[in-house]
Structure 1
Amino acid sequence: MTSRRVSRREWLASSLAVAAAATGGCLDTALVDENAGSIDRPARTKVGTPLRLRVSGFEPRTVVTLECEATDEAGRDYTGSWSLRTDESGAATLVNEDFTNNAPKSNWYGSERGRRIAERLTVSMILHRLSFESLFASSPNFFMGSRNSVTLSFHAHSGLFGTSTPSRSQSRVLVDPGVSRRSVEANGLVGWLYEPATRGPHPGIVALHGASASVPHRLSEMLATHGYATLALQYFDAPGLPESLERIPLEYFDTAIRWLTGRPTVHDTGIGLFGISRGVEAALLTATGYDGPVAVIGYSGGGVVRHGVAGVPPTRYIDRPAWTRNGSPVANPDAIRATFDAIEDHGRHDCRAALLPNAIRSRTPERLLEQALVPVEEIDGPVLLFAGGDDQQWPSTAVAALTVDRLRRRDHPRPFGLRTYCNSGHIFGVPYADYTGVPTNDTNGGSPKANARAAADSWPTVLDYLENGLR
């Protein structure tokens, strides 16, 4: 005798039928809906952009169940379902409010204009709203891995025994296979240029790694997928460059911007700077000296200058500058020590970023603190920072909060802000990556689930800020 696996929808339908019989049929949803309906959607969308998914052809003002299925690189089947109420024409759209489950715990600190951009309601990161049902372990996060795209399968039905719509699929693209890559070894630069598959000219972005010299290739591919010519720049630990994060001339980043914006396929009217960890310092310092529109995005870092570090990956702080301008250190060593002593005492781990600046300021002489802070108010564009409240490697929430506090005190006219993910650590950023192992070890902090959800949650905001600043 052959058994058939009962689908989740069939199980739900039979359960509700029993409930309907027990309650005299007093349910909002009709038992039978003869209208099969249809699903309207683009066949292909990019990760971080809206799904633009709509059901139609159902009874007016009734409940329609929309179901989604997808399989990750590990072969695990993920599912999700949402109840939508149709309008008077029998149609309904999946909206952000339907995604309230699985949202990561976070806090915002910044301008109101910045918050409005950061909280724009779009249905985008659907894959981290799906679940993998397991009887023996907690649900893992959807893992795209080396895949450039994943296929979502949708169907919808109304009524307990109504006919389901024909299944419709949508390809969610993380990296466009048409993105080109070339190595860059010009003007003393070391890097890789990722360009969109579409014709230019495109806005340009320079992406900067942190103290481990791990070049952000995947993020650069993703940015190119969304139409940004992205230079993933290495600035130490390569031939012709310093051995570690020590005495890095900011003129090197100026050269990178000139080279990128001087290409015929790249706009020369503005630039984006994308930093990770200590690369956020470099991005903010470079942006203050850039004469033109600039958008700055930073993960796990901020605009507080610290000493250089020895080794790759970093082994210890050294009493030598990390950054120079015209051959001179950009910050006073005494100011750096005083500021980070106060940060270690009052701001190492706290998700409430808005409370940190005053606590740190109470322990640091104003004249020294001002020498350690990047003059971010000089940046002609939006500034968006992300931090993990459980960052074990770097006091990212504190240094980012001091950056936002300075923008606030100087009445920065462009959108700015910090999103702190309370349970995340130092490493997050690429949606649907594998955050088990090193990204979530004792050195980096967070949990695989928290880091994965912070990565997925932050990506649409990155795209919105870049759109606001560069297009």
Structure 2
Amino acid sequence: MISLKASPKTSLVDEPVRIQVWGLPPEQIITLRAWLQDEKGKIFHSRAFYISNTEGKVDLEHSPATGGDFQGVCPMGLFWALKPSTPLLRLIKRNVIGSPFHVHLEVYSHVELTPFPKEPPAATTSVERWYASPGVQRLEVRQGRIRGALFLPPGEGPFRGVIDLFGGIGGLVEFRSSLLASHGFAALALAYFGYDDLPKTLDHIDLKYFEEAVNFLLNHPKVSSIGVGVVGISKGAEIGQAMACFIPHIVATVCINGTIFVTDQDLRYGDLTIRALPYKIEKALITSSGAIDCSHMYGDPRDPAHQDSVLPIEKSRCPIMFLVGENDLCHDSVLYAKLSQSRAEKFGKKDVYLRSYPGAGHLLEPSGSPLCPASLNAISGAPVLWGGELVGHCKAQEMSWRETLDFLHRYIPCSQRNKL
């Protein structure tokens, strides 16, 4: 009798799952398939082929996939390779507290070439993948102008505070904040357009809005009052770097595949205005699939005409870590990060760190997340290439997520002081 086991049955999405099959004939070719249904009813699925050993077993920690969506020893490959049955969708968990993703695992005793087999599997099991650990609390935030959701770990604190920013997707994206809270941080998922009563689209970046969010965290009774960190991706990384340059009490910043300059919308902070560098749509490359490569739409950042838009990283009083994918097809993020680091060193700032990952694309997310090489852009409605090679990208997510957590723990102080 063929048996399929996945353990643990319940885990955070950034934790590994071990998959084993036994009861097979020796050297039996099998197909392992994974699938889940997202909150909108869309199916994401993956599959890989394996050959059982002389004992009739397959253990993904040791057994190499011979084909399918990946090859070689990839213990988490079935999770990494989950792709949408409807093209150009991105897997995003919205209800991060109330329910997990249920990932269904199936084994077939042959090579199954169809993505949705008609005949029943030889064995099945399922696992729950949660985005928040037990006891994490979600609080809706509507204070002053700021809109978002605050995630608090269980206990009285004080906890290290982090502001979490996403990019052009807009709205309120919470899955990284709930995971940060699961690792001991008080994480504020901060919306800044396309949510509630905030502007539907951006016409400029008002840094005072983000300073208001900083002060909100610092004054929260469960948050350490010394300073807060920032994690941002894409446009959120650009804003995070600007926060580090100008807003007091930012003590650590993680910039994921951002730029070196202000782009698209002017940045304002009181009387200060940094003019944005507009993207040049005529530089977009359209692939045979119809998706757009945007990585060169801002031109050469070393052009003297662009210098008024460059963020003055030397003004930052906190450590900054750039995480960049070498296969990013949205930004030339490796070049941008290297130039930012060089500028910092030129002015004597030594605490700027760069982590560059071969094969990784733009959407570097917490470990265990599947690769999303392209998806529809919510603003333009056009498909955009994010880049990334399956194994390289997902290994980079494992490394970058650990480095993010370590960096925030190291540089955000956690001790009680008088509130501001």
Q: Same fold (TM over 0.5)?
A: yes
Q: One-letter code of the match for 2:11?
A: T
From 248, 257, 268, give the equivalent of 2:206: 248
| SS of equivalent to 1:170 | strand
Q: Equivalent residue for 1:287? A: 244
From 395, 398, 402, give the equivalent of 1:464: 402
Alpha-carbon displacement from aligned partner over 1:368-426 (angstroms, at most 9, x marks no partner)? 627623316944142225699655xxxxx1477323322156565564246698998xx
Q: 1:403 to 1:77 in 2, by over 3 A?
A: closer
Please show how residues 153-302 of structure 1 align to structure 2 within 5 Å: 153-154=104-105, 167-174=124-131, 179-186=136-143, 188-196=144-152, 198-199=154-155, 201=157, 202-208=159-165, 210=167, 214-225=171-182, 227-235=184-192, 245-246=203-204, 248-250=206-208, 252-267=209-224, 271-289=228-246, 293-298=251-256, 301-302=258-259
Instruction: Give the structure-1-normalised TM-score.
Output: 0.57
Q: 1:453 to 1:384 in 2, by over 3 A?
A: same
Contact 2:31-2:110 at 8 Å conserved across structures: no
Q: 1:199 to 1:42 in 2, by over 3 A?
A: farther
Offset of residue 83 of structure 1: 2.5
Q: One-letter code of the match for 2:402?
A: D
Offset of residue 184 of structure 1: 2.9
Please show how residues 249-398 of structure 1 align to structure 2 within 5 Å: 249-250=207-208, 252-267=209-224, 271-289=228-246, 293-298=251-256, 301-306=258-263, 308=265, 321-324=266-269, 327-329=270-272, 331=274, 333=275, 340=277, 344=280, 359-361=300-302, 363-364=303-304, 369=307, 372-375=310-313, 378=316, 379-385=318-324, 391=330, 397-398=331-332
Alpha-carbon displacement from aligned partner over 1:222-256 (angstroms, at most 9, x marks no partner)? 54455542213345788799995447244x43442
Q: Equivalent residue for 2:336? A: 402
Structure 2, unmatched stretches of 5+, are 112-120, 286-291, 410-420
| SS of equivalent to 1:463 | helix
Q: In structure 1, how many angstroms separate the alpha carbons of the residues matched to 2:338 and 2:373? A: 28
| SS of equivalent to 2:319 | coil
Q: 1:101 to 1:254 in 2, by over 3 A?
A: farther
Contact 1:193-1:231 at 8 Å conserved across structures: yes
How many pairs does the alignment contain? 375
Contact 2:146-2:212 at 8 Å conserved across structures: no
| SS of equivalent to 2:262 | coil
Alpha-carbon displacement from aligned partner over 1:63-91 (angstroms, at most 9, x marks no partner)? 78572433424475845234377699x88
Contact 2:238-2:261 at 8 Å conserved across structures: yes
Offset of residue 273 of structure 1: 1.6
Q: One-letter code of the match for 1:126?
A: L
Contact 1:70-1:150 at 8 Å conserved across structures: no
Q: Equivalent residue for 1:150? A: 101
Identity of aligned residues (%): 14
Offset of residue 297 of structure 1: 3.5
- The yes-or-no answer on 1:51 pairing with 2:3 is no
Q: 1:307 to 1:450 in 2, by over 3 A?
A: closer
Q: Equivalent residue for 1:70? A: 35
Q: In structure 1, how many angstroms separate the alpha carbons of the residues matched to 2:283 and 2:314? A: 20
Q: In structure 2, how many angstroms separate the alpha carbons of the residues matched to 1:141 and 1:292? A: 34
| SS of equivalent to 1:231 | strand
Q: In structure 1, how many angstroms separate the alpha carbons of the residues matched to 2:213 and 2:17? A: 35
Alpha-carbon displacement from aligned partner over 1:112-160 (angstroms, at most 9, x marks no partner)? xxxxxxxxx9854633525789xxxx87868676674233344679999
Q: 1:169 to 1:420 in 2, by over 3 A?
A: same
Offset of residue 283 of structure 1: 0.8
Q: In structure 1, how many angstroms separate the alpha carbons of the residues matched to 2:87 and 2:238? A: 36
Instruction: Give the structure-2-normalised TM-score.
Output: 0.62
Please show how residues 65-104 of structure 1 align to structure 2 within 5 Å: 67-73=32-38, 74=41, 76=43, 78=45, 80-83=47-50, 92-94=59-61, 98=65, 102=69
Offset of residue 435 of structure 1: 10
Alpha-carbon displacement from aligned partner over 1:39-74 (angstroms, at most 9, x marks no partner)? 462111222332244568999x97785724334244
Offset of residue 304 of structure 1: 0.3
Q: 1:375 to 1:381 in 2, by over 3 A?
A: closer
Offset of residue 329 of structure 1: 1.7
